[in-house]
């Protein structure tokens, strides 16, 4: 399958999935094939029951996925690969700046936690991401789409700061401004910089008294935002996985695990390349 990990990619993370020690019943299926099956499900968006026969039985794969998600194995896999990639491109293993953003995606008839995002006109759930300046994931939470970005910021930023204590700056859009930014700065001692759209008149267009009477027209429509485009690109990376285009899981933990797996799968191709 094109979604399978190569031998070089598997060598980078195999120890995270193999059973440690010699006690207990030997594994019935090769662990790599179980991970490959999870990668197939998230990339193609198929139901667990529709796994091709070339993979282990779907019930066993689902149980393994649940166990790994509960243990944070996919997150550990991603964090290891993130540090390796940052070192390879000449960055410090731990970042000092991050970007936060949220994305609303629709839900399905499967049910579970849902809400309506009045701004985006989407009924479903919302993914809140904190990424480094390379667009690599630091923290993720999933809420109902009705939860405001400012209300969901505290938990995801707390996760990022706990994982990377050296964070000094956080870039965000106007939704996180005001009291939300002040609360984050007080709680974690990091500076929050609000990157506003140039078409937002509240940012002002006058710099000093010598400005011309009629300042240049502000930009409208799509404009690349400094720093903010990085997290937008991460959202685009995630949407290559069809399982993340819509929420097919009733549980609240599975959507988080899928994001970590998708980001780890993307990173695995880099150090092994």
pLDDT at 50 over 80: yes
Report the length, in residues, of the chain: 273
Provide the pLDDT for residue 112.
80
Superfamily of domain 7-199+216-268: Ribonuclease H-like superfamily/Ribonuclease H (3.30.420.10)
Question: How far apart, in whole angstroms, are the C-alpha atoms of residue 1 and residue 76?
Answer: 24
Question: How far apart, in whole angstroms, are the C-alpha atoms of residue 248 and residue 7?
Answer: 30
Provide the pLDDT for residue 25.
72
Question: How far apart, in whole angstroms, are the C-alpha atoms of residue 173 and residue 152?
Answer: 14
pLDDT band at residue 108 under the 50/70/90 scheme: confident
**Residue 132 bridge partners (DSSP):** 98
Q: What is the mean pLDDT of residues 167-191?
A: 93
Q: Rounded to whole angstroms, what are the CA distances from 62 to 13, 17, 59, 93? A: 20, 14, 5, 33
Q: Rounded to whole angstroms, what are the CA distances from 16 to 75, 84, 223? A: 11, 15, 42
Provide the pLDDT for residue 110.
75
Question: How far apart, in whole angstroms, are the C-alpha atoms of residue 125 and residue 147?
Answer: 9
Provide the pLDDT for residue 196.
76
Q: Rg of the chain over CA atoms, in angstroms? A: 21
Provide the pLDDT for residue 199.
55
First CA to last CA distance, the chain: 18
| pLDDT > 90 in the chain, percent | 71
For the stretch 18-54, what's the b/e string if a residue is b when 16 or more beta carbons lie within 10 angstroms of its beta carbon? Answer: eeeeeeeeeeeeebbebbbbbbbbbbbebeeeebeee
Question: How far apart, in whole angstroms, are the C-alpha atoms of residue 261 and residue 240?
Answer: 13
Provide the pLDDT for residue 210.
46
Using one digit for the tens of pLDDT, what is the confidence trace for 215-229? 455 555 545 555 788
Question: How far apart, in whole angstroms, are the C-alpha atoms of residue 140 and residue 155?
Answer: 9
Q: What is the mean pLDDT of residues 186-192?
A: 94
Provide the pLDDT for residue 221.
57
β-pairing verdict for 97-106 and 169-172? parallel
Please answer whether residues 78 and 264 qualify as being in contact, where contact means their C-beta atoms are separated by less than 8 angstroms. Answer: yes
For the stretch 78-104, what's the b/e string if a residue is b when 16 or more beta carbons lie within 10 angstroms of its beta carbon? Answer: bbbbbebbbeeeebeeebebbbbbbbb
Using one digit for the tens of pLDDT, what is the confidence trace for 237-268? 999 999 999 988 889 999 999 999 999 999 99
Q: What is the mean pLDDT of residues 143-170?
A: 95
Task: Specify the range with the lowest mean pLDDT, choosing from 18-27, 74-83, 153-162, 203-212.
Answer: 203-212
Using one digit for the tens of pLDDT, what is the confidence trace for 6-37? 999 999 999 999 875 556 677 788 999 999 99
């Amino acid at each position: 399958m094109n979604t399978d990990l190569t031998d070089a990619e598997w060598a980078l993370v195999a120890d995270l999935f193999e059973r440690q020690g010699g006690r207990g019943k030997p594994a019935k299926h090769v662990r790599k094939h179980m991970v490959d099956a999870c990668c197939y499900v998230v990339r193609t968006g198929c139901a667990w029951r529709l796994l091709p026969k070339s993979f282990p039985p779907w019930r066993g794969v689902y149980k393994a996925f649940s166990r790994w998600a509960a243990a944070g194995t996919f997150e550990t896999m991603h964090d290891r690969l993130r540090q390796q990639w940052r070192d390879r491109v000449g960055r410090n293993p731990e970042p000092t700046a991050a970007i936060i953003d949220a994305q609303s995606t629709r839900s399905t008839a499967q049910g579970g936690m849902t809400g309506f995002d009045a701004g985006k006109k989407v009924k479903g759930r919302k993914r809140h991401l904190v990424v480094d300046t390379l667009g690599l994931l630091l923290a993720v939470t999933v809420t109902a789409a009705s939860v405001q970005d400012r209300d969901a910021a505290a938990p995801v930023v707390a996760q990022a700061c706990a994982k990377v204590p050296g964070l000094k700056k956080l870039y965000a859009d106007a939704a996180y401004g005001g009291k939300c930014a002040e609360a984050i700065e007080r709680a974690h001692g990091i500076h929050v910089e609000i990157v506003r759209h140039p078409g937002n008149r509240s940012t002002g267009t006058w710099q000093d008294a010598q400005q011309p009477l009629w300042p240049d027209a502000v930009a409208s429509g799509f404009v690349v935002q400094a720093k903010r485009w990085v997290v937008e690109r991460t959202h685009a990376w995630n949407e290559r996985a069809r399982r993340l285009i819509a929420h097919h899981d009733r549980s609240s933990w599975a959507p988080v695990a899928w994001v970590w797996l998708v980001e780890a799968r993307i990173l695995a191709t880099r150090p092994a390349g």
